[in-house]
Amino acid sequence: MTVKEILNRMFHSFFVILGGSVISMFVFLLIFGTDGIIHTHDLGALIGLSAAADLSFFIFYSKNELSRNHLFVRYIIHMVYILSEMLFFAHFMGWLDPGKTIQAVVFVGFVVVMYIMVWVISSCQAKKTAHKLNEKLQERYRQGQLQN
């Protein structure tokens, strides 16, 4: 991926990550029945968390085209990085009770679902863009043949 492609993907995925994080936080609070209040520093942490997760797309930067295997390895590294980052933030912000393993498991589940959701949405956007480009290329090719 080029830097331009990564920045484009980061821009689109930031809002998906942030929106999904807010929804996940809401569902997490519903499941565990905490009567906690969401403070502005919690929302700020979610914005920071989303930005930090978004910056991790630079793991995919490469001057050369990546093979499927290299891309798969980078996705694994990216997923591990995202999970570690999210668990660190959750611990740092006090979102998880240290004695409740189920909370950590559910939290990791939310992170995995969010990761898959962002990946699917980004892939759909990339396919849509590629389809539009292919249509324009075919149209130019047809116009070039008509002129000859």
Q: Which long-range contacts (CB under 8 A, 24 or more apart) does 35-41 make?
A: none
- Does the pLDDT value for residue 81 go beyond 80? yes
115-141 pLDDT, tens per residue? 888 788 877 877 888 888 888 888 888
What's the distance, CA 79 to chain centroid?
9
Report how far residue 128's alpha carbon sits from residue 136's, in angstroms, rounded to the nearest whole number. Answer: 13
**Rounded mean pLDDT of 77-97?**
83
The pTM of this model reads 0.64
| pLDDT recorded at residue 36 | 65
Contact 31, 106 (CB under 8 A): yes
